[in-house]
Amino acid sequence: MITIDCSALNVVVVGGTSGINRGIAELFASQGASVVVASRSQDKVDDTVAALTELGAKKALGFAADVRDYDALEQGLKATAQVLGGFDVVVSGAAGNFPALVNGMSPNAFKSVIDIDLLGTFHVMRAVYPLLNKPGASVINISAPQAQMPMIAQAHVCAAKAGVDMITRNLANEWGPSGVRVNSIIPGPIAGTEGMARLAPTPAAIKACENSVPLKRFGEPSDIANACVFLSSPLAGYINGAIIPVDGGWLHGGMAVVADGIGKMMFPQQ
């Protein structure tokens, strides 16, 4: 494993208490950063903070907030930034997903994903900007392949994550002059995650999905975490407004094939 000294970085990972985002928080912690995590469940926050401390975080903090609740989110971010002395790295990755056809989705179902993924990202961006250490801060939005390619039973996620990537591009323009870089990462299918459990719920779907990735394997949370550490290092100092797939090449065709196939497995009426 390559070691990158992150001990000068104060990092916040919103939605950082499980799956990919927790993997990101853990890598920064193991490289000596101070790390804050936030999500809805206080139990998950406490468990993650204990693990980050164990891994070697300089400081590990957390707070419970729903990204749909702007006031709670802003209050948690302000309080933790005050303890650490501002944020150098922000990862915004809270998301919700369930497979549902448009014709089988209530307006509130569509809205719930828009509110978590898209409005939630806006909330994180809006609340965190005054707390960034400028110039030099790195902001990373966790997007999804659905932002770029339609997928059966994913209209809500496709719309929300496409919006997330447009927020990234707009903020790259608006915040670039103050020395803040804003980028998106598009993870491919990542092993052992809640997202994949929902989208590829059977052994047949998992196999089809693995086969559709040019590298012939699922990614690991550490693949996404490595990209986040890179984006927050001086090596990435001129990368701003980029939408970066970390997906084994999935978006170049394999995703389209499997997305259609899995959708039809789950919704044969399609």
> Residue numbers of the site for ligand NAP (CB under 6 A)?
15, 17-21, 39-41, 44, 66-68, 93-96, 116, 142, 144, 187, 189-190, 193-196
Structure tokens at 47: 């468990």
User: For residues 236 and 124, is the Cβ–Cβ distance under 8 A?
Assistant: no
User: For residues 219 and 226, is the Cβ–Cβ distance under 8 A?
Assistant: no
User: For residues 116 and 134, is the Cβ–Cβ distance under 8 A?
Assistant: no
Cβ closer to ligand COA: 119 or 239?
119
Residue 109 found at the interface with ligand COA (CB under 6 A): yes
Residue 215 found at the interface with ligand COA (CB under 6 A): no
**Out of 76, 96, 188, 248, which residue is the one contacting ligand COA (CB under 6 A)?**
96
Residue 187 found at the interface with ligand COA (CB under 6 A): no
* Largest Cα–Cα separation, the chain: 54
Torsion angle (degrees, nearest 10) of CA 160, 117, 251, 217: -150
Pairwise CA distance, residues 54 & 56, whole Å = 6
Cβ closer to ligand COA: 21 or 183?
21
Q: Cβ 98 to ligand NAP, closest distance in Å?
A: 11
**Which region, judged by CB under 6 A, interacts with ligand COA, from 89-97, 133-141, 159-167, 170-178?**
89-97
Residue 269 found at the interface with ligand COA (CB under 6 A): no
Residue with tokens 């094939």: 257
Which of ligand COA, ligand NAP, none does residue 67 bind to, with CB < 5 to 8 Å depending on kind?
A: ligand NAP
Q: Cβ 164 to ligand COA, closest distance in Å?
A: 12
- Chain positions contacting ligand COA, by CB under 6 A: 95-98, 100, 104-106, 108-109, 112-113, 194-195, 198
